[in-house]
Every structure is written in structure tokens, then in C-alpha cells.
């Protein structure tokens, strides 16, 4: 039985990797300057919420490596930036949720992921972006607060809202397909979600996204 469960888990992680690559390829949207949004982090976060933070790490590494050798022109440094960005969001959300499997835990994990990812990318954009974009560090540093800060907050907030909105239907579909097991009754009762609370959280995150998008557009 354990071997069967392990095989199902590996199959699902491979499916998440493939899906994340597809949505990254077809779902890229230019936001500001060379910065683009794509929803692959949502798929990678699903893997972590289902199977733990190390699963998000594994899927992120797989997708970033495939992206590097197929559609990316930023090489190994771009790959490293992808992994750092995705894991700071998805692994953080998954770690918090693994400790508190409730709607509140999911919201706390996702918000923590947004904040950590934003802070981490300010640092790594300052350190690495000048190298793979061939730009002076002073020029990149001047963009940290007016461009990189709102962009990463926008990206993270939108990913958090989409994750909250889509995670429960995904889990229900996987359970009906018998790809994951239903939780014990006691766990299900303690982790029962509040639809009203989830909609409020999604609405707040969506409002934050709109404000940040307006801020970014004013930078053009």
C-alpha cells in the first residue's frame, strides 16, 4: 500500500511539473519593463500544499531546469532566480499549512510566502539581475523599490488568490479520481473551510493586485 501511495505521489508530482511548464509557456503576461507574470507558482504551490514543502522544491527544480534548456534565454542565473522566487513563496506556504491545515493556516502560509518572496527577490534582484541582464548594479538598485517591490507583491498576491480559489476544487477532483486519499473524519472536521472567509481573503488579495498593478503601470 505504501508503495502504491508513493507511486501515485510521484505521478502527481510529474503531472504538476508538466502542467506548471505548460502554464508558464502559454500564460506569460508582460507587466512592466522585462518583467512578466505567469501562474506556474500556483501549480507548484498545489504540490506543496498536498505533499509538503519538499514537493514544491522538487517541482520547482524540475520546471526551472526544463525552462532553462527550452524557452529561457537567461541561462543558469535565470534558473536560479526562478527557483529562489518560487520556493520562497510555495515552500513557505506549504510549510505553514503543514503545521496548521485550516483555512486560516492556508491564508497565513500564503501571505507569509508573498512577503518572504518579495523580500528575497529584492535581495536577489540586487545581487543577480545585473549579471544576467548585463546592466549596471546602480541602475538595478534604482528599480528595486519603484518596480521590483510592487511587481513581486502583485505576483505573489495574485498567485495567493488563485491558490485559495482553486485548491479546494482541485483536491475534490483528485479525491473523486482516487488519486489522493480522503482525510480521516476528525481531520476533515477540524480542517473544514469557511467559504465566506475564503471569499473575503480572495477579494482582499485581488484588491491588492489591482492597486499594485496600477502602481506598476504608472511606472511605465
Q: Tell the residue number behind the cell numbers 481573503, with chain if given.
A: 201
Q: Quick one: pLDDT at residue 200? A: 78
What is the average pLDDT across 99-119?
95
Q: Quick one: pLDDT at residue 194? A: 67
Q: Quick one: pLDDT at residue 190? A: 42
**How distant, in Å, are the alpha carbons of 32, 89, 93 from that of 211?**
14, 20, 23
pLDDT category at 217 given cuts 50, 70, 90 is low
- The fold for domain 2-26+39-182+190-218 equals Arp2/3 complex 21 kDa subunit ARPC3 (1.10.1760)
pLDDT category at 123 given cuts 50, 70, 90 is very high
- Would the pLDDT of 186 be above 60? no
Q: Specify which residues 35 forms β-bridges with.
A: 32
Q: Which three cell numbers stand for residue 215?
A: 502602481
Q: How far is CA 110 from the centre of its chain?
A: 9
Q: Tell the residue number behind the cell numbers 520556493, with chain if given.
A: 87
Convert the pLDDT of each residue in 7-27 to its tens digit. 889 999 999 999 999 999 998
- Would the pLDDT of 167 be above 60? yes
Q: SS3 for 35?
A: strand
How many Å apart are CA 190 and CA 20, to the nearest integer? 31
Q: Quick one: pLDDT at residue 193? A: 54
Contact assessment for residue 112 and residue 96, using Cβ atoms and an 8 Å cutoff: yes
Global model pTM greater than 0.85? yes
Tell which residue, 9, 90, 111, has the closest CA to residue 46.
90
Q: Which three cell numbers stand for residue 131?
A: 549579471
| Mean pLDDT of the chain, nearest integer | 88
Convert the pLDDT of each residue in 29-70 to its tens digit. 998 888 899 999 999 999 999 999 999 999 999 999 999 999
Q: Specify which residues 32 forms β-bridges with.
A: 35
Convert the pLDDT of each residue in 194-206 to its tens digit. 667 777 777 777 7
- Would the pLDDT of 176 be above 70? yes
Amino acid at each position: 500500500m505504501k508503495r502504491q501511495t508513493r507511486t501515485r505521489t510521484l505521478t502527481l508530482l510529474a503531472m504538476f511539473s508538466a502542467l506548471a511548464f505548460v502554464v508558464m509557456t502559454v500564460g506569460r503576461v508582460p507587466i512592466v519593463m522585462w518583467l512578466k507574470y505567469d501562474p506556474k507558482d500556483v501549480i507548484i504551490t498545489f504540490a506543496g500544499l498536498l505533499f509538503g514543502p519538499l514537493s514544491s522544491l522538487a517541482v520547482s527544480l524540475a520546471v526551472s531546469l526544463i525552462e532553462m534548456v527550452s524557452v529561457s534565454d537567461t541561462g543558469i542565473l535565470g534558473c536560479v532566480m526562478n527557483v529562489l522566487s518560487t520556493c520562497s513563496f510555495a515552500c513557505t506556504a506549504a510549510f505553514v499549512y503543514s503545521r496548521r491545515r485550516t483555512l486560516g493556516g492556508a491564508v497565513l502560509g500564503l501571505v507569509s510566502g508573498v512577503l518572504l518572496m518579495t523580500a528575497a527577490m529584492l535581495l536577489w534582484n540586487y545581487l543577480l539581475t545585473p549579471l544576467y541582464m548585463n546592466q549596471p548594479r546602480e541602475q538595478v538598485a534604482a528599480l528595486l523599490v519603484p518596480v521590483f517591490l510592487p511587481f513581486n507583491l502583485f505576483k505573489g498576491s495574485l498567485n495567493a488568490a488563485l491558490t485559495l480559489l482553486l485548491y479546494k476544487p482541485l483536491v475534490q477532483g483528485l479525491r473523486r479520481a482516487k488519486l489522493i486519499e480522503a482525510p480521516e473524519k476528525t481531520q476533515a472536521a477540524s480542517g473544514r473551510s469557511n467559504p465566506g472567509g475564503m471569499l473575503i481573503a480572495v477579494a482582499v488579495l485581488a484588491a491588492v493586485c489591482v492597486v499594485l498593478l496600477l502602481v506598476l503601470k504608472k511606472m511605465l
